[in-house]
Chain A
Amino acid sequence: MKTIKRYFATAGIAAMFLSGSLYAETDVSHNWNAEGEAAALAVFKATYESLGGTWKESAFPSTEDSQASAKTRFLGGDPPMVVQGVLGGSTADFANAGMSADLSAYAAAGNWDELYPAGLAASGKHNGTWVSVPVFVDTVNWLFTNKSVLDAAGINEPNSWRDFIFSLQALKQHGVIPLAIGGEDWQETVAFDHILLAAGGADFYERVMSGDLDAIGSGTMVDAFTKFSFIREFTDEGKAGRSWNDTNNLVVSGKAAYIFMGPWATGGYGEMEEGKDWSCRLTPWSEAVAALADGFHFLKSDNAGDQEAQRLFAAALTDPDTQIEAAAAKGTLPAVKGADPAKFSGCATKAVSRMNSGKTVTHWNARSSGLKSALKDTVTAFWNGDMSAAEGRDALLAAVKSN
């Protein structure tokens, strides 16, 4: 009898815990751990709490880990309320998997279609329905330069592909690493962005990234691979397997002159002065801004408490002032319209002016997973192998067709 009682007591406590977890405040699954990213998240958190939400978060080292956890929890019936990540291709992934919440009601209430520029609104929608909320626009095609290294070699910052190549040769003679690159496929593909822009410009880039087989199979693509293989000799031999931050550090510390990297590389420069010690420039040989929307995927939940939390969090994310403040903290651009350029500094200002004057194209990381895989696989195979440029073009064409 005693044991039975004890059994029921234990079961009761267990049930309390279980139900507790079902009705607990729901959490934000993210991988914003770097200083600026954490500061941006804190801004959203403050607004969310002021609206009455209770903040809970699950931080992960990478998007993959965050997504893997969210998927597992979704299948187990206890999803996080949102997953932070790049929108676009993955918005479709979540929606096609039936994991997305329908945000139409909140979008109508907050008039999101007016709030966002059309291109960015599209990144948060699947088949016309709002399922994710864009908060930032990240521009990815940056060329970072250590200006002291260039000065020491007596070189001016290059403004054309031709000048860039000349400067690489001069820097090599000078005895520094001209171009720092790491050993991961995405780093190589981020560098390839600039090569594509050098070969075919913004329109060509857009066509390639939308999977246009004519563009991918064209002679321009052969030219791109020729250029890509040409810069290989200006990289160092320690690149195999190197992470992006180690690679970035080569430029920061003056061992290397250039790196092609996203805006997250700015964090490495610390107290050094932009414009004097180092510089960030969007691809100098093109007018293109390769951008992507960063934001939050909202996951479907049947729980009324979770849905209320989602409503509050969506309101916090789409509050223009909050979004602009968070973007300034992260050093990037807000997704909403009408941000005052004066609020931004350094690289973000350059991105704003380029967006106004140049041509914005969608970066490969916001494209469908099929195209992304095909591109990364081919670029890394070409960069580390001994394919000819024409073979590279053919390999990319075959990969895009089969993915």
Chain B
Amino acid sequence: MKGHFKQKLLIAAALTPTVLVAVYFIWGFGAATAYLSFTDSGFLPSKKLIGLFHYQKLFSSARWWNTYGNMFIYGGVYLLGCLSIGIVIAAMLDRLPKSAIIYRTIYLYPLALSLVITGLAWQWVLSPTTGLQHLIRELGFESFSFNILGSSEYAIYALGGAAIWHSTGLVIVLFLSGMKGIDVDLWRSAQIDRIPTWRVYASIVLPQLRSTLMTAIVLLAFNVVRSFDIVVALTKGGPGHASELPALYAYEFYFVRGNIGQGSAAAVVMVVSIMAIVLPYLIYELRKRKQ
């Protein structure tokens, strides 16, 4: 009993610094940002409270609504894309013999690149004057047209696509390790029953990987919130502000327009919105696991 207590104390002592740092730098700064969003902070932060002024401004701005909507388009495309492609590739890799480890490296490689490099590389590929369109026209198809970056409607999907290319590797690794942990006997009995492989994955393997799915969703969701560098590198939020995401919006109001209150309000709405989606899911999953 005493040993148990000691062990607990040791764990608590070891974790305390991390907890303190996390509380201060994440929740403390988060709370400070939330506070600033209710103040008249402009060029410099101020402590004078002015209520919901910045939120009213934000919600009456057409630019913000477009940016806010973009977060859901981008986030939806990114999450669905990463998860579906990632899970399929993970299952395929899972079926390969151990010697085929090279494929794992290939699929994981983009994850090692920074998002700025990812954005820049895709910018080169997608730009109509240097990339794909140029190449195909050089091959003789003069009327070929592909200018997703110049399209107000579709530029946001280009961002989603580039981000999927970057992060799918993460999903692959998570699910691959999960699949490797599946009981071999399950596979044997499925083989005896002659269940097709895809069916085994869909009905037996994946349902056992719920917690892996949860991890993946949480990690990806936070990538959505902090998406900044890829936007700057790939589209600069353009054309116009058509592919702008909230983090870029907040940055511009903080550092270019000297409107700290407005930037803070945008940051708060951005984080709260993502939490409103992710938290209920997390609570649901965790409760389910306890039962």
Tell me if B44 counts as interface (CB < 8 A to partner A): yes
Q: Quick one: CB contact mask for B226-238 with A, threshold 8 Å, 1 for yes? A: 0000000011101
Whole-angstrom distance between the Cβ of B217 and the nearest chain A Cβ: 30
Within 8 Å of chain B (Cβ to Cβ): is A402?
yes
Chain B residues positioned under 8 Å from A367 (CB to CB): none
A395 to B127, CA, bound (A): 30
Within 8 A of A (CB), among B145-174: 147, 149-150, 152, 155
Contact, CB under 8 Å: B43 / A97:
yes
User: How many of chain A's residues have a CB under 8 angstroms from any CB in B?
Assistant: 33
Q: Is A241 within 8 A of B43, CB to CB?
A: no
Does A22 lie at the interface of the complex (its beta carbon under 8 Å from any beta carbon of B)?
Answer: no
Known contacts A240-B149, A241-B123, A381-B241, A93 near B235 by CB under 8 Å: no
B37-51, CB < 8 A from A = 42-45
Give the residue name and chain of the B residue nearest to A177 (CB).
Answer: B129
What 19 new A-B contacts, CB under 8 Å, besides A238-B130, A386-B152?
A74-B44, A96-B43, A97-B42, A97-B43, A97-B44, A99-B43, A183-B239, A185-B240, A237-B128, A238-B128, A240-B147, A240-B155, A241-B123, A369-B259, A384-B152, A384-B238, A385-B152, A385-B240, A402-B60
Within 8 A of A (CB), among B77-117: none
A: residues with CB less than 8 A from B are 64-65, 67-68, 71, 74-75, 93-94, 96-99, 183-185, 236-241, 369, 373, 377, 380-381, 383-386, 395, 402
B128–A93 touching, CB < 8 Å: no
Q: Return the CB mask of B28-65 against A: 1 if under 8 Å, else 0.
A: 00000000000000111100000000000100111100
Query: Provided the pairs A238-B127, A240-B149 are in contact, do residues A64 and B240 lie with their beta carbons within 8 angstroms?
Result: no
How many Å lie between the Cα of A391 and that of B141 in the bound state?
38
Chain B residues, CB < 8 A from A93: 42-43, 258
10 pairs of A and B residues whose beta carbons are closest in the complex: A384-B240, A238-B129, A384-B239, A97-B43, A240-B150, A241-B236, A97-B44, A380-B240, A240-B149, A93-B43
Task: State in angstroms the CA–CA spacing of A239 and B240 once bound together.
Answer: 11
Q: Is the CB of B147 within 8 A of A71?
A: no
Contacts of A395 in B (CB 8 A): 62
- Set of chain B residues within 8 Å of A236, measured between Cβ atoms: 129
Contact B238 A64 (CB under 8 A): no
Q: Does B242 contact A (CB under 8 A)?
A: yes
- How many Å lie between the Cα of A183 and that of B236 in the bound state? 8
Range, interface on chain B: 20 to 34
Say whether B281 faces chain A, with CB atoms less than 8 Å apart. no
Which residue on chain A has the smallest CB distance to residue B60?
Answer: A402
- On chain A, the residues within 8 Å of B42 by CB distance are 93, 96-97
A399, chain B: closest CB distance, angstroms: 9
Q: Tell me the nearest residue of chain A to B260, going by C-beta.
A: A71
Query: In the bound complex, what is the Cα–Cα distance between A65 and B44 (angstroms)?
Result: 15
A98 to B42, CA, bound (A): 12
Tell me which residues across on chain B come within 8 A of A373, comparing CB atoms.
Answer: 257
19 CB-based A-B contacts, threshold 8 Å: A68-B254, A71-B43, A75-B45, A94-B43, A183-B238, A236-B129, A237-B128, A238-B127, A239-B150, A240-B238, A241-B236, A241-B239, A369-B258, A369-B259, A377-B63, A381-B63, A381-B241, A384-B239, A402-B61
Min Cβ gap A330→B in Å is: 24
- CB-CB under 8 A from A97, the residues of chain B are 42-44
Q: Are A64 and B256 in contact (CB under 8 A)?
A: yes
Known contacts A241-B238, A369-B257, A369-B258; A71 and B129 CB within 8 A of each other: no
Is the CB of B255 closer than 8 A to any CB of chain A? yes
Q: In the complex, what distance in Å separates the CA atom of A239 from the CA atom of B236?
A: 12
- With contacts A183-B236, A240-B155, A402-B57 known, is A377 near B128, CB below 8 A? no
CB distance from B282 to the nearest CB of A (A): 35
CA distance A239 to B238 in the complex (A): 10
* Nearest CB of chain A from residue B254's CB, rounded to whole Å: 8
Q: Chain A: which residue is nearest B240 at the CB level?
A: A384
**Cα separation A140 to B200 with both chains bound (whole Å):** 67
- Expressed in whole angstroms, the Cα–Cα distance for A238 and B155 within the complex equals 13
